[in-house]
Amino acid sequence: MARTSGPVHPAAAIALLGQSLWLDYIHRDLLEGGELRRLIERDGIRGVTSNPTIFEQAIAGSAAYDAAIAELARTGRDARAIYETLAVEDVTRAADIFRPIYEMTGGNDGFVSLEVAPDLAHDTEGTVAEARRLWAAVDRPNLMIKVPGTPAGLPAVTRLIAEGLNVNVTLLFAVEVYERVIDAYLTGLEQRARSGQALESTRSVASFFVSRVDTEVDKRLEARIAASPDAAERSRLEALLGGAAVANAAVAYQAYVEGFSAPRFRELMAKGAAVQRPLWASTGTKNPRYSDTLYVDRLIGPDTVNTVPPATLRAFQDHGRPVRTIDADVEGARRWLAGIAAVGIPLREVTDFLAADGVKKFADSFTSLLGAVEAKRAGAPG
């Protein structure tokens, strides 16, 4: 593929269009070797997100943490306490590296996200308690606590926002759920305002998972294609492959525009409140038939964040197309989703499945992570 032409660096161009690139990756080597600073300076990265799967890959998949695990093991800490200590250390260091970005942008960027334990996804009180504890442990204004957008997570979001914590609402797939996320955020701000607290420093993003939507919809479409004896029907089904995720995100962006242009938010904005930006997550392309920059190129727009894995960042910097696209064809996006429903694949059924599956996958990663830490802890010299 051809390299992006013109004098403007892709990261600079995307920033001019109102989007921030965050890195969907964290590793101790990234922090200690200076690479994170280079990504900020060279590639325009303006934040970092983490999750249990990322920490599992970092801690279990390398020796970078082994010495720290051995040292913590000698203090008698169990695997969960060791993991949390390591995660808090990494996130704190990353937050310090991003602090100049946070200050330069007036608190709009420079955030590092740390997720509450996945086994709390259905526990409001447990989520609130852990979020408070992690917030105090990191003790940086540019921390975001990740809370899943589950029925139990949304009341926690409201309470944490009311207390002034920054919240990354994660594992979002359905536009209908996102509308409830917006309400949870605004309710938290309203409660905070009524208590006489300032709104200016409280920030939130709503993390929409993208590529997983195509993966699941395509799987269902391909099963129907394989089972259909009718060539015309197969052609109609094939035309729907690879478009559900971007269409879903485009409709979600319209929910953002409507929610944050309404009088309810304008009243809060007059008191210093910031919008809750949509964040596009899971933007690494999983299907090799699709462009490796698909979920960056097609999701660019004002007041958004795209959190990219390292390989996707490299691909976008090489041949991405920094053009505003998120609202280029909203009616076309709605027609695409209607077309999927018309062939018997209701998107809400897909997104409900993905939300439940997402919680399970993070819980499985967390269990695997704790198992790996325990194995390293048990094998550490006494």
Q: Cα–Cα distance between 193 and 271 in angstroms, integer?
A: 8
| Res. 246: pLDDT tops 70 | yes
Extents of the domains making up the chain = 10-376
Q: What percent of the chain has pLDDT over 90?
A: 92
Q: Cα–Cα distance between 349 and 341 in angstroms, integer?
A: 10
- Give the model's pLDDT for residue 8: 62
- Give the model's pLDDT for residue 11: 77
Burial of 172 (0-12, 13-18, 19+ CB in 10 A): buried
| Res. 380: pLDDT tops 90 | no
| Res. 233: pLDDT tops 60 | yes
Q: What percent of the chain has pLDDT over 70?
A: 98
pLDDT tens digits for 312-344? 999 999 999 999 999 999 999 999 999 999 999
Q: Cα–Cα distance between 355 and 334 in angstroms, integer?
A: 21
| Res. 3: pLDDT tops 70 | no
| Dihedrals phi, psi of 56, to nearest 5 degrees | -60, -45
Say if strands 19-24 and 304-308 run parallel, antiparallel, or are unpaired: parallel
Burial of 133 (0-12, 13-18, 19+ CB in 10 A): middle
| Res. 2: pLDDT tops 60 | no
| Res. 304: pLDDT tops 70 | yes
Residue ranges of the alpha helices (H) in the chain? 10-16, 28-32, 35-43, 52-60, 66-73, 79-104, 124-138, 153-162, 175-194, 211-227, 231-238, 244-259, 263-269, 294-297, 310-319, 330-342, 347-379
| Res. 144: pLDDT tops 70 | yes
Angle, CA of 362, 366 and 368, to the nearest 5°: 115
- Beta bridge partners of residue 22, listed in sequence order: 307
Task: Kindly indicate the confidence band of residue 12, based on its pLDDT and cuts at 50, 70 and 90.
Answer: confident
Average pLDDT estimate for 271-280: 98
Torsion angle in degrees (nearest 10) through CA of 9, 12, 18, 22:
100
- Give the model's pLDDT for residue 6: 47
| Res. 221: pLDDT tops 80 | yes
| Res. 5: pLDDT tops 80 | no
SS3 state at 308: strand
- Give the model's pLDDT for residue 309: 96
**Where is pLDDT greater, at 2 or 332?**
332
Q: Which two tokens stand for residue 329?
A: 């064809």
Q: Determine the topology of domain 10-376 in CATH.
A: TIM Barrel (3.20.20)
- Give the model's pLDDT for residue 81: 96
Q: Cα–Cα distance between 244 and 225 in angstroms, integer?
A: 16
pLDDT tens digits for 22-73? 999 999 999 998 999 999 999 999 999 999 889 999 998 899 999 999 999 9
- Of 146, 360, 361, 376, the catalytic one is 146
- Give the model's pLDDT for residue 10: 80
Alpha carbons within 13 angstroms on the beta-carbon side of residue 304 total 30
pLDDT tens digits for 94-140? 999 999 999 999 999 999 999 999 999 999 999 999 999 999 999 99
Instruction: Answer yes or no: 146 catalytic.
Output: yes
Say if strands 277-281 and 111-115 run parallel, antiparallel, or are unpaired: unpaired
Average pLDDT estimate for 253-266: 98
Angle, CA of 374, 171 and 96, to the nearest 5°: 65
Task: Kindly indicate the confidence band of residue 263, based on its pLDDT and cuts at 50, 70 and 90.
Answer: very high
| Res. 4: pLDDT tops 50 | no
Global pTM value = 0.95
Q: Hey, how many other C-beta atoms are within 10 angstroms of the C-beta on 191? A: 15
Say how far residue 240 (Cα) sits from the centre of its chain: 26
87 contact partners, CB below 8 Å, separation of at least 6: 50, 55, 114
Burial of 336 (0-12, 13-18, 19+ CB in 10 A): buried
Q: Cα–Cα distance between 346 and 325 in angstroms, integer?
A: 25
Q: Cα–Cα distance between 343 and 37 in angstroms, integer?
A: 48
First-to-last C-alpha distance (Å) of the chain: 54
245 contact partners, CB below 8 Å, separation of at least 6: 210, 211, 212, 213, 214, 217, 295
Q: Which two tokens stand for residue 19?
A: 């989007």
Q: Mind giving me the DSSP string for 229-290?
A: --HHHHHHHHTTTT-HHHHHHHHHHHHHHHHTTSHHHHHHHTTT----EEEEE--S---TTS
